[in-house]
Structures are given as C-alpha cells and as structure tokens.
Amino acid sequence: MARPAPRVLTALVLVLTLIGVAASAGARAPHRRFPEIELTTHEGKRVRFYEDLIQDKVVSINFIFTRCSDSCPAETAKLKEVYERLGDRVGRDIFMYSISIDPEHDTPEALKKFADKFQTGPGWLFLRAEEEDVKRLEERFGLDLDADEYDDPEDHNISLVMGNERTGQWIKRSPFDNPGALASILGYRLSDGMVARSDVKSYSEVPEAPQLSEGAFLFRTRCESCHTLGGGEGLGPDLIGVTARRERNWLARWIREPDKMIEEGDPQALALYVQYRELAMPNLRLEQTEVDALLGFLMEQDRARGFVPVPARQARRD
C-alpha cells in the first residue's frame, strides 16, 4: 500500500489539531457561559463564581437583600424548609447560594446576621459582589428587570434558579413552590440519575389531594415556613392559641402590615421582634379578604383544641 503524500499527512495533522482545539473549546464552553466574578461570603471568604461555586455542582441560586421587608424574608424561610428536607446533602453534593442585590449595605457582617436569623448552616452561602457583577449574573440567568418598567433599585426578580452545571440542565421556579417539590428537583431530578430514591411510592399509595379551605391554604403556603400549629416554635412562634392571646383587630393588622406596626413602635410587635432574633415578620401583601380567611382558619384550629378566641379589646397581655 502506497504511503500518503506529505501534503495529505499535513492535512491530517491539521484536521486532528483543529478537532483537538474544538474539543478543548467545548470543554471550556461552560466557563464562557458564566462570568468568573469574585464574591465574598457571609463568612468573609473570597470565592469565584464559576470555579468555586458552581463548577460540576448541583446548586440553587436566588437574589435577595437583607433590608427587604417582605419577599426576601418570606422566600428565605421557604428555602430553609428545602434546606432542612435535603439534610446533610447540602454542602456535600448540593449547594445553596443567596446573592445580595444591595452590595453597598450588605457587607459580610450584615449577611451573616441575616443568615443567623434563619439559623442556616453549612452548604448555604449568602454572598455579595460588586453591583455591576451582580447585574451580570442576573442577566445571565434571565432574572434582570426592565429598567424602564422597574425604576426602584430595590425591585428584583423573585425567582429560584436550580441547576447542574456539569450536565447543563437549569430550571427556574418560584421559591414559594412546595418545598418538597423543590427539594426533589435538587436532590434527584438534577442529580442525573446518580442518586437512588428510597421513598418512592406506587401510584396506588399516593393519597388524594386534601381539600383545603382558603384559610388553610394560606396558612400552608404563606405561614407554615415559620410557624406551626401545636408543633412548637420554629423561626416564629407556635400559633396554636394565638386567637385566645391576641385581640382580633390587632391580629388582623399584624398579618396585614407587620412592617408598619414595628415602624410605629407597637409594644407587642416590638416584643415579638426582639424575642425572635429580630427576624421581622414579612409583609405578605394579603388582601383583607385573605386576612379574614386566615384568621377564620386560626380560630377554627383554636376552638378545636379548646381555646376560646377573645373578644375585641380583651386580649391577655403575655
């Protein structure tokens, strides 16, 4: 068999070289898709976004700021439920990141104080970066807002991004979704089949969806992250018996606008604020009809356990 001509050999070498370059470029493609910016954790450690935080990892990412009085505390409380459901897998094969959109105020010390209020632990980092770098991250994940429509610098996209950088699979969900569903996405769906499930049930074993009243639904979706009904204290107080301790009008306003009551110096509101690590109850932006439904549900729960809701202006001071 005749040997290939020198020109053919040269061409083959060139093709193989180009293939190698293309392969190398492909291997570096994920790095190019994410900005390699520097951030500082709530523990004061400097980290790089791609290389230290997301490369080859399953992660969740959301954007917050510590002075936020409504959505940020509420979504952090919801994510705390996800964190607890995932257990010691967080920090081992799953990582959670909350990035501040207010780097001027949110120093590592401010972020640590915020994290401590929610009693977070290993594997969940609260981070700050320069303002322009934060905007680059928001844009990269499709979470930037139209500047013409949202002119308040404190407006931000309340979304949760979850992904597996190694496989390139990314999902955007609401942080207020069912914590069990979010934990399942992070713990199993994004794990590329590498983690076996031990709690899988057949369809015949799945219970029927409960028929919830409006008040029960609101409690489950808006309150349960911080409060229980007879299960002891969580991030906030156990609410069983609350309608026997607090007067209805006070409770209704506390549910509707807790931030204003704290700002005005309401004694009971301030006492709760101090008692629970200065973790302010978020303003959930509920309509009055929703407040009434939620109060009706709490009264039903109290009556079922023998508590008698107190008439207006006769609440016990304890």
Give me the pLDDT at residue 2, please.
Answer: 47
DSSP 57: -
Enumerate residues 6+ apart whose C-beta is below 8 A from 168. Answer: 30
Res 33: pLDDT: 78
CA distance 271 to 261: 11
* Tokens describing residue 183: 């934990």
- Burial (CB count <10 Å: 0-12, 13-18, 19+), residue 52: middle
Instruction: Look at residue 32 in the predicted model and tell me its pLDDT.
Output: 56
Write down the pLDDT at residue 21.
36
124-128 and 38-41 beta bridge pairing: antiparallel
Cβ distance 79 to 86 under 8 Å?
A: no
Q: Please, which residues bridge with residue 64 across strands?
A: 100
Give the DSSP H or E segment for 291.
helix 288-304
Mark 76-86 as b/e (b = at least 16 C-beta within 10 Å). Answer: bbbbbbbbebb
Can you read off the two tokens belonging to residue 288?
A: 């009055």
What was the pLDDT predicted at 310?
79
Q: Is the pTM of the predicted complex or chain greater than 0.85?
A: no
Domains in the chain, CATH or no CATH each: 38-191 (3.40.30.10), 214-304 (1.10.760.10)
pLDDT-flagged residues of the chain (< 50): 1-28, 30, 147-150
* DSSP class of 220: I
**What b/e readout covers 278-309, taking b as 16+ CB neighbours within 10 angstroms?**
ebbbbbbebeeebbbbbbebbbebbeeeebeb
What does the alpha-carbon distance between residue 90 and residue 52 come to, in Å, rounded to a whole number? 15
Instruction: Indicate the length of the chain as a whole number.
Output: 318
DSSP per-residue string spanning 1-41 = -PPPPHHHHHHHHHHHHHHHHHHHHHHHHHHHHS---EEEE
